[in-house]
Every structure is written in C-alpha cells, then in structure tokens.
C-alpha cells in the first residue's frame, strides 16, 4: 500500500481537501443494493480501503477490511476517518434518486475517482435491474490492477520546460471572497450539451475555453472600473506528462490563463482563439513537468531545513506554483464516456470546498452539469453568467444557492 498521501491527509484536519460527488439517477436508489455494489467495487480498488492509526512516531496507514459505509439519508453527516464510517476515507449515502459519494482528495482526483464510481454504478445497475450492461470503458470488479495505479511520482522527471509558463501577478480578486471563511454555497448550473458544443465550435471555442471566456467577461461586466488582469486557474491532468497514466493519486496541476480587461470587449470568437492558444501552450507536457519538478525540489528543501520561518517561505513557493491566487478556477475532467450507464444517470455534480469561486464541470444526462461553488453569498456572478449565455443563444438553468459547509474528517 502506497503511503504517499498520508502526510497530506493528516496535515489539514481542520480544512480537509474532500470531494463530494452528487448523482441523480432515473429511479429511486436502493440503498441495500448500493451497499452490495460498494463492497464489490472496493475489491477492485484495494488502495482506497485503509484506515489511519496513531503510532509512537505519529501516524500510519493500514489495511481496512471493514465494509464501506453507505448511509440511507443525506441528513446524516459523513466524517471521513471516523468510527461512524468504519474508519474509511471513502463513504456514501443514498436519498431518493440521489447518491452522494465522499472521497478524500489526497487519495484520488477527479479522473481516478471517475474510474471508481463508474465501476460502482455499473455493479449497482446490473444488480438492481438484473441486467448485464456493456462494460466498455468500465473497470470490472475482477479486472486486473495496472502496475502504476498505486504509484505516486515523487522524483524528478526528464524533459521540463518552464520558459512559457504564466504566473499570477496582481490579479483581480473577488471583493466578496474571504480567505478564512469555513462555509460556502453552491449552485447547480445546467447547460444542454448539444447546444453548448454547437456554440463553442462555432466560435472557435472548446467547452472549457468558452466557460473560461464567459467567466472573465462576467467579472469585467460587473466591475467595469477594473484595470487588473483577470486570471483563470484551470486544472490539467499531468498523468501522461509524468508517465503514470493510470495513477490513482491527485495528478493534476493548475495552469493560469490571463485575460486583459482591455481585450474583454472583443467578440467571443477572437477571445476564444486567444484563450485556446494560452491553454494549449500552458498544457504542454514540458511545462507540467517543470511544475512537478519545481515542487519536488522545494519539498526536498523543506525536509532538509529545521528553520520554521524558511519552511513557511518554501511552502508559500509551492502554493504559488500549484494554486496561487487566480480570480476563479475551473476543473473539467472531460467526456466521462458513460456508455451503457448513460440512460440511468440524469445529473452529476462534483463539490470541492473553495473560499473564492470554483467551477467543477461534469457531463451527464445530455447536459453539462456545473457545480458552482463559492465562499460568499452574493449571487450576482452566477446570475450574470446565466444572462450572458442566454444573450448568446445558450440555454442555462440555475438552481440554488445551497449551503455547503466544509467537509469533516477525524484522525485517531
């Protein structure tokens, strides 16, 4: 069992980095069948079945053979690592037609979590309806585990090139965002997939590019006096760059896309072209390796220095590399390739706590499902986003806000 995620889990118990996946299925969820499917699924992903114990030297990870908990109500709080969830760092709940899956982000990212929940939903649907669905693009419970699934790249990787990397400098910051808040809000934003794809292709935009442009335009329209650059932080999968295509660990780095206020009055096609070029350049594997290697070098410095002040300074350097301070952030893992599961899934939203503004984008039920998570109450931004899309012929529905408190975990 790889323990590369242990230090990260225990370092931030007050503000744990936890993902919550919310699915709406076409029929009411049978909690008993979901529990059965969960126990079948976890056998395919043994690296997710662990507990943390306290030792003389701190903490350690050990195998956890207790069942994964599936609660029968959303009203029961899920605290990862607690006795209530059998000390696991993954748990679930069912209510009506909805399924909630909770996973600590340090043990997986959106891409590897997708593999897990596709297996889970496959096992559930086959058992619930007594059918044998087509398993294409789905890891079955008895399928082999690839050699690099439980591998975390912690060394230097050849071929880095940071010469074209964009960094965040004096960005426009959302006035309402407060860094030390422990509560948040989210909206469910849905956009028809066909209409959005048609619009994005017609304006030289990919879906991710069009979302990025729309957000920058929204900020400038609400703050016309702004003269600072608006930055988008976009999560990019670095697995191929790091030569670990199946790794279950968090293997994404954030690239930064700069929008000049003076240019945000241009038409969407020109803005799209300019933004796509930035995304392509910033997503270059050499740049991703540069960021990874820089983090590895700084981490080595942190381990070698006893000076607390210097350690804090170095930690800030890592923060600037991997998170920094963009105006807003977007994550889109791409086409989930639901295959035979598609007729049974209406919506999917991914929630990750963020003090500022974070858009997690998924595709399900013939639409893009955006979990719009923000650390403040002002609904002006999401309303302006909806209006902008509708003005450009793209239907956009918004529901919320819903309270989104910081998820909890429990160390022994």
Q: What is the pLDDT of residues 360-403, one digit of tens each?
A: 999 999 999 999 999 888 999 999 999 999 998 899 999 999 99
**What pLDDT is attached to residue 240?**
96
pLDDT averaged over every residue in the chain: 94
- What distance lies between CA 195 and its chain's CA centroid? 24
Least confident interval from 291-295, 318-322, 378-382, 385-389 = 318-322
Please say if the pLDDT value at position 203 is more than 60: no
Assign 181 a pLDDT band (cuts: 50, 70, 90).
Answer: low
Higher pLDDT, 13 or 61: 61
Q: Is the peptide bond before 348 cis (omega within 30 degrees of 0)?
A: no
Assign 23 a pLDDT band (cuts: 50, 70, 90).
Answer: very high
Mean pLDDT computed over 206-212: 90
Please answer whether residues 373 and 354 qualify as being in contact, where contact means their C-beta atoms are separated by less than 8 angstroms.
Answer: yes
**What pLDDT is attached to residue 54?**
96
Mean pLDDT computed over 329-343: 93
Please say if the pLDDT value at position 204 is more than 70: no
Report pLDDT digits (tens) over 212-235: 999 999 999 999 999 999 999 999
Which stretches of 176-334 are assigned E, i.e. beta strand? 183-192, 230-237, 252-259, 328-332
Mean pLDDT computed over 280-301: 96
Please say if the pLDDT value at position 195 is more than 60: yes
**What pLDDT is attached to residue 177?**
78
Percent of the chain clearing pLDDT 70 (strictly above) = 97
**What pLDDT is attached to residue 200?**
66
Token look-up 């639409």 returns 367
Residues in the chain: 412
**What pLDDT is attached to residue 164?**
92
Token look-up 């076409």 returns 26
Please say if the pLDDT value at position 196 is more than 60: yes
Mean pLDDT computed over 327-350: 94
Please say if the pLDDT value at position 178 is more than 80: no
**Phi/psi at 205 (5° precision):** -120, 140
Mean pLDDT computed over 187-208: 81
Please answer whether residues 238 and 292 qualify as being in contact, where contact means their C-beta atoms are separated by less than 8 angstroms.
Answer: yes
Report pLDDT digits (tens) over 60-75: 999 999 999 999 999 9
**What pLDDT is attached to residue 180?**
56
């Amino acid at each position: 069992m790889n323990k590369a995620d242990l230090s990260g889990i225990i370092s931030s118990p007050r503000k744990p980095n936890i993902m919550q996946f919310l699915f709406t299925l076409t029929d009411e969820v049978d909690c008993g069948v979901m529990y059965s499917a969960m126990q079948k699924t976890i056998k395919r992903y043994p690296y997710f079945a662990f507990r943390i114990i306290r030792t003389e030297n701190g903490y350690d990870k050990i195998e956890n053979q207790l069942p994964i908990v599936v609660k029968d109500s959303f009203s029961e709080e899920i605290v990862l690592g607690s006795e209530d969830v059998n000390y696991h760092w993954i748990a679930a709940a069912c209510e009506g037609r909805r399924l909630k899956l909770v996973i600590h982000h340090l043990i997986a990212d959106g891409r590897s979590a997708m593999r897990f929940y596709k297996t889970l939903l496959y096992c559930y649907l086959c058992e619930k309806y007594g059918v044998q669905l087509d398993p294409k693009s789905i890891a079955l419970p008895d399928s082999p585990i690839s050699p690099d699934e439980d591998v975390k790249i912690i060394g230097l990787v050849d071929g880095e090139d940071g010469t074209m990397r964009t960094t965040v400098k004096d960005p426009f910051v959302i006035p309402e965002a407060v860094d030390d808040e422990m509560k948040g809000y989210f909206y469910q934003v849905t956009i028809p997939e066909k209409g959005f794809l048609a619009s994005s292709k017609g304006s030289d935009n990919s879906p991710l590019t069009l979302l990025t442009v729309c957000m920058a335009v929204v900020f400038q329209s609400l703050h016309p006096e702004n003269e600072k650059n608006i930055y988008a932080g976009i999560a990019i999968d670095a697995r191929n760059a790091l030569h670990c295509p199946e790794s279950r660990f968090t293997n994404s780095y954030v690239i930064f896309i700069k929008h000049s206020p003076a240019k945000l009055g241009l038409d969407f096609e020109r803005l799209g072209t300019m933004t796509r070029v930035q995304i392509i350049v910033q997503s270059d594997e050499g740049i991703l390796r540069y960021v990874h290697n820089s983090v590895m070098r700084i981490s080595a410095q942190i381990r070698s220095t006893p000076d607390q002040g210097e350690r804090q300074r170095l930690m800030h350097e890592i923060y600037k590399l991997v998170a920094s301070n963009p105006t807003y952030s977007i994550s889109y893992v791409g086409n989930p390739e639901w295959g035979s599961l598609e007729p049974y899934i209406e919506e999917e939203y991914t929630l990750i706590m963020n003090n500022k503004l974070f858009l997690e984008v998924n595709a399900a039920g013939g639409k893009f499902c955006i979990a719009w998570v923000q650390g403040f109450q002002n609904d002006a931004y999401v309303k302006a986003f909806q209006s902008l899309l509708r003005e450009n012929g793209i239907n956009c529905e918004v529901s919320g806000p819903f309270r989104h408190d910081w998820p909890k975990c429990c160390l022994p």
